[in-house]
A and B are shown apart, each in its own frame.
Chain A
Amino acid sequence: MRGPEFLEQLEKAVPGAVTGRTLDVVDPWIEVQADRIADVCHWLATASPVRFDSLQCITAVDWCEPDPKKAAKVSWQPHLEMVYHLWSTPARVSLVVKATLPRWKADVPGQLPEIPSVCGVWRGANWHEREVYDLSGVWFTGHPDLRRILCPEDWEGHPLRKDYEMPLEYHGIRGR
């Protein structure tokens, strides 16, 4: 199955969800609307001609330059990029799906941006989403048990945000 043909089928199955494609890079990827990610993944995992039956990794990339001097030079607007790496066991091919999120919900700092959870598609997504929530600050709607996984439960902030600052003190331990 060739790439463009496959994308046509995806477009037919989930109309309007795919907003972009970049196929001439090291790892080709498609971009989908953030609020349709669960629908797209559901189709990819259950109905697509190539069954992407395994979720390998979820990554959130924070596009934000805290230094104002450097920020004036960059070509992008601040945003969060969600990257889903999928794998098809029967066909032995991978697929990269990306989605764009605002850094904060409604641009209110501290309000986490939301994206539908894909736990209903792959049960293994549970821990991956908890990790992204913990470290990058993304709220997965519909996740059965969204809480911190690597940091302590009472930790403040999301360390993999570019503008994150280590707390001065944590339970009497000096932070920085």
Chain B
Amino acid sequence: MASLVDDDPRIIEFDVRTDEMLVNMGPQHPSTHGVLRLVLRTDGEVVSEVEPHIGYLHRSAEKIGENITHRQFIPYTDRMDYLAAMNMNLGWALTVEKLMKYQVSEKARHLRVLIAELNRIASHLVGMGAYGLDLGTFSPFLYAFREREKILDLFEEACGARLTYSYITVGGLTADLPPGWLQKCEAFLDQFEPIIKEYHALLTTNAIFVKRTANIGVMSRDLAIEYGCSGPVLRGSGVDQDMRRDGEAIYTAMYEGYAFEVAVMKDGHYPRDHEYPAVPADAVLGDCWHRFFVRMLEVVQSMDLVRQAIDRYASCQGPLGDPVKLAEKMPTGDAYLETECPKGQMGFYIVSDGTATPWRARARSSSFSNLAVAHELCRGCLIADVPAIVGSLDIVMGEIDR
């Protein structure tokens, strides 16, 4: 029996040492989510070290932020995480509002939840589709983009832009929804809901997908916390944390009255997991599969939140309220706020000297921390697993390089 295993050509021998080689992945490797360069130190198929080189998309957003007013900075936040621009707008707007001690109207609050959660769905769809691409399957990408396109259509109708919205702004939103928008949004949700089953069939339970992701790139709870990982990457390691529930008062107040369960495995179960495919036997908490699965659960969670927000928004009377003036002065002081963006906890930090222009504008990127942990996850894996691991972190280079 032993000899049969030894002769099996499919088994890679981990103990054979040959010459070390440096392999360059990128800066334009298609499956690295932007202009990322990875330098791999390999011995045959086994990777001993991965070194990410970043900065190819550095556009000095923080320096620009020191020269324009807080509201003028909103379009620059769009271009950080361009897949979830609404959430980035929201993070910056709330940070300025926290410093100003400003409170938006009830109607604006519900509209913000609606828009932000809709964008979370769109972002996770890209995350899912692109992850399929990373692993060599093309079709899920097309199905994901088909649905994402409908969300972009809704956004276009609401604010005129398809990618860089600048819709949520300091003191509210730039415009109210056009008539008939809510019905279109509801129609989209009704159409989208049954489709999620297809995604699970395409990827979650796909035997090849499971083989490529289960028990690959396992991140322990402590490692995730020590590196400051956040979002689905942190929750995929079983840490029960979501800023929408655990964050600061100004952010959690936005979700007050909304019912949602944080997508994290507790006592071996995900919330409402009887509705979804079972966790594969090979999957270990903290591996690529779990990070992916948390994202898929959050799509459904966000859909629930959008439905709740539609009801609440529709029942709100009165005007939306106008955003603050373009050059409204901020009080002297500083404020830091983290919000739960699709990729993780996005933090903005403003230091103000009493004018409308921040003295210092800082963006703490979630993908930055999530990517920093990649070299720990890739140590000792196979070359083919590197895209699987980096893809499972669902990074956006625009946000990392800023």
Q: Which residues of A contact B (CB under 8 A)?
A: 25-27, 53-57, 59, 61-62, 83, 85, 87, 89, 92, 94, 96, 122-124, 126-127, 131, 135, 148-152, 159-160, 162
Q: A56-B345, A59-B349, A159-B63 are in contact. Are A26 and B360 (CB under 8 A)?
A: no
B315 within 8 A of A: no
Evaluate contact between A83 and B349: CB separation under 8 angstroms.
yes
Partner of B226, one of A26, A61, A122, A159: A122
Evaluate contact between A124 and B333: CB separation under 8 angstroms.
no
Contact with A along B327-346 (1 / 0, CB 8 A): 00000011110100000010
Q: A26-B334, A27-B336, A89-B241 are in contact. Are A124 and B349 (CB under 8 A)?
A: no
B225 within 8 A of A: yes
Q: Which residues of B contact A (CB under 8 A)?
A: 54-55, 58, 60, 62-63, 66, 98-99, 101, 222, 225-229, 239, 241, 246, 248, 333-336, 338, 345, 347, 349, 351, 359-360, 362, 364, 368-369, 372-373, 376, 401-402
Complex CA distance for A85 and B363, rounded to whole angstroms: 12
Evaluate contact between B349 and A85: CB separation under 8 angstroms.
yes
Given A94-B248, A127-B372, 7 further pairs, Cβ under 8 A: A26-B333, A55-B228, A61-B359, A92-B246, A124-B226, A127-B368, A162-B66
Complex CA distance for A152 and B54, rounded to whole angstroms: 10
Complex CA distance for A57 and B366, rounded to whole angstroms: 10
Evaluate contact between B63 and A160: CB separation under 8 angstroms.
yes
Q: A26-B98, A56-B338 are in contact. Are A149 and B54 (CB under 8 A)?
A: yes
Nearest Cβ distance between residue B360 and chain A, in whole angstroms? Answer: 5
Evaluate contact between A135 and B335: CB separation under 8 angstroms.
no
Complex CA distance for A72 and B265, rounded to whole angstroms: 58
Q: Which residues of B contact A150 (CB under 8 A)?
A: 54-55, 58, 401-402
Q: Which residues of A contact B229 (CB under 8 A)?
A: 124
Partner of A53, one of B58, B60, B226, B345: B226
Evaluate contact between B241 and A135: CB separation under 8 angstroms.
no
Evaluate contact between B99 and A54: CB separation under 8 angstroms.
no
Q: Which residues of B contact A96 (CB under 8 A)?
A: 336
Nearest Cβ distance between residue B307 and chain A, in whole angstroms? Answer: 28
Residue in chain B with minimal CB distance to A123: B226
Interface-centre pick from A59, A62, A126, A152 (highest chain B CB count, 10 A): A59
Partner of B347, one of A57, A62, A160: A57
Q: Which residues of A contact B369 (CB under 8 A)?
A: 124, 127
Evaluate contact between B62 and A160: CB separation under 8 angstroms.
yes
Evaluate contact between B335 and A152: CB separation under 8 angstroms.
no
Q: Which residues of B contact A55 (CB under 8 A)?
A: 228
Residue in chain B with minimal CB distance to A134: B55
Q: A96-B336, A122-B228 are in contact. Are A56 and B364 (CB under 8 A)?
A: yes
**A and B contact pairs by CB, cutoff 8 A, 10 listed:** A26-B98, A53-B225, A54-B226, A57-B364, A62-B360, A89-B225, A124-B229, A149-B54, A150-B55, A150-B402
Evaluate contact between A57 and B336: CB separation under 8 angstroms.
yes
Q: A57-B347, A124-B226, A150-B58 are in contact. Are A26 and B335 (CB under 8 A)?
A: yes
Q: Which residues of A contact B248 (CB under 8 A)?
A: 94
Nearest Cβ distance between residue A61 and chain B, in whole angstroms? Answer: 5
